[in-house]
Structure 1
Amino acid sequence: MIQIISQPKKERCHRINEIKFMTSDLEVYLTYKLLYQLSPQN
C-alpha cells in the first residue's frame, strides 16, 4: 500500500523537475535570442 502511494508522488516530482528544466531551457533560449537581436551583427 505504501509503494502504491509513493509511486505517483515520485512521478509527480519527476514531472515537476521536467517542467522546471523545460522552462529554464526556454529562458536561456529567449535570452540568447534577445541578445542576438540586440547585437549589431544582424
Structure 2
Amino acid sequence: MSEYTLANGTTITDADIDQLCTEFESESWTGHLERIHHCPPT
C-alpha cells in the first residue's frame, strides 16, 4: 500500500483515498474541497 505526503505535511494512504471516494460518492462525506488555481508560467 502506498503512502503519500500532502502539501500540509500530513500523510494519506491508498486505503484513505478509497474511503474518501466511497464517502463522497455516497454523499455522506462531510469534508470541504478547496480549489487551487495556478497560473501558467509566463
Q: Tell me the TM-score normalized by structure 2.
A: 0.37
Give 1 or 2: higher strand fraction: 2
Give 1 or 2: higher helix fraction: 1
Q: Tell me the TM-score normalized by structure 1.
A: 0.37
